[in-house]
Amino acid sequence: MLIQHLGRFHLSDSACRRLAQRCTEAGVALLLVLSEVFSSNIQSTLPAFSTAARLCLTGGALLLLGFKCLFLTRYETRGQWAALFLTLAYTGFAALYGGDEWFLLAALVGLAAKDADLRRLARVYLAVAAAGLVLVQLLHLLTPLVPFKFYCRNWDFGYGHYNGYGARLMGVFLAWGWLRWPRLRWFDWAGLAALAVYTLTVPVCRGAGGAMLLLLALFAAQKLLPRLFESRLYHGLVLAVYPLLTALSLLTGYLFDTADPDHTPVLKAIDRLLSGRFEIWHNVFWQTPASLLGGVPTDGDEHSSIDNMYLALPMNKGVLGAVLVAAVFLILLWRLAKGRHTGELLCMTALLAYLFMENKPFLLSANPLVLLLPCVFFARPDRPLPVLCPRAEQPQPAAAGQAR
């Protein structure tokens, strides 16, 4: 660790590890408070205070996580140092160019997670994210600080759009399921199912609620057919999900005819089920010229914002960014599959399905799986991956005597 080479600091390895853990946890907590509380409608009732709070929370998180990455992380090779600086340089540029600050913040969180106690970090994530959600709803019920506004067909639940509320519910659901797998008890199943039903019926967030139900179905199927989910068949299917959903997004948006939707009756029916997403993809994505670096705003409260990560990436980050982000996803999935980490693969499958309906891959409060980024940038073949879920045991061949 670089801090141990500075003359004024004489810290032991254990003290450095404790300090690194505290910095990472505090940085993640600050970003979650930023997203859960001060990205709500409180900005309209307390604009000056909210602006100051957002600056303090963002700046504090950048300082804590940056200090951890630079001074409190042990990098074994020069390649790891290079990965750190290249990732921060590119995400910083792309965040400024495309107006997406969460791209840099998500990358910084993932880099800071190197060598951290991941289970403890995920617990901090779950506690702060859930508390922030509850606080915003209580502020609405008990005070005029967080007004709910009517948006399209539903209330926005204090976040400018009901799907913004659903994204934060999705983050809590993912963190809970990820932490508890494979030790899910009856109360976990009941709580996760209740959260999924609530998401589908109250804010009516089809993307988040559908992905929650999918993850519950995957958890149940894995209990019944564990060998299937440890096989090359499932691993191959998981690796194919990203390119298949990308191709499906491009194709459906291209083929759907907004002037004559009856020309494609099947797509018209699915478009209604998906709240008109094919129409948005056709009108927004296919009318935007492709470029190497992107820079087109793709998130916001307007109906024309693109709500599909696979299409939003080439618009906002350009062709270069779309290829790089796809490579990160595929490397992560490949390493999880190679290491037979079934729990993470199930969560990643549900996340990829969710991102077909929403554009929230870098919003920390919607995606706790950014904590797996060290598996991409700092993995070493002689060490196990830094994950939460246990590795599936390799089936043992029967002994010769037993075979007979």
What pLDDT digit, counting tens, does each position of 57-108 carry?
Answer: 999 999 999 999 999 999 999 999 999 999 999 999 999 999 999 999 999 9
Is 400 in contact with 360 (CB distance < 8 Å)?
no
With cut-offs at 50, 70 and 90, classify the pLDDT of residue 305.
confident
Position 154 scores a pLDDT of: 85
The Cα 61–Cα 32 span in angstroms is 10
pLDDT at 261 over 70: yes
With cut-offs at 50, 70 and 90, classify the pLDDT of residue 118.
very high
Position 4 scores a pLDDT of: 58
Percentage of residues of the chain with pLDDT beyond 70: 93
In 3D space, the residue among 315, 313, 321, 318 whose CA is nearest the CA of residue 296 turns out to be 315
Q: Which amino acid is at 129?
A: A
Q: What is the average pLDDT across 220-236?
A: 96
Q: How far is CA 16 from the centre of its chain?
A: 28
Position 5 scores a pLDDT of: 61
With cut-offs at 50, 70 and 90, classify the pLDDT of residue 12.
confident
Position 258 scores a pLDDT of: 87
Position 251 scores a pLDDT of: 96
Q: Which amino acid is at 296?
A: V
With cut-offs at 50, 70 and 90, classify the pLDDT of residue 9.
low
Q: What is the average pLDDT across 253-282?
A: 90
Is 31 in contact with 57 (CB distance < 8 Å)?
yes
With cut-offs at 50, 70 and 90, classify the pLDDT of residue 399.
very low
pLDDT at 144 over 70: yes
Residue of higher predicted confidence among 400 and 296 = 296
pLDDT at 30 over 50: yes
With cut-offs at 50, 70 and 90, classify the pLDDT of residue 396.
very low
Q: What is the average pLDDT across 294-316?
A: 84
Is 0.85 surpassed by the pTM of this model? yes
Position 215 scores a pLDDT of: 98
The Cα 391–Cα 399 span in angstroms is 23
The three-state secondary structure class of 342 is helix
Give the chain's length: 404
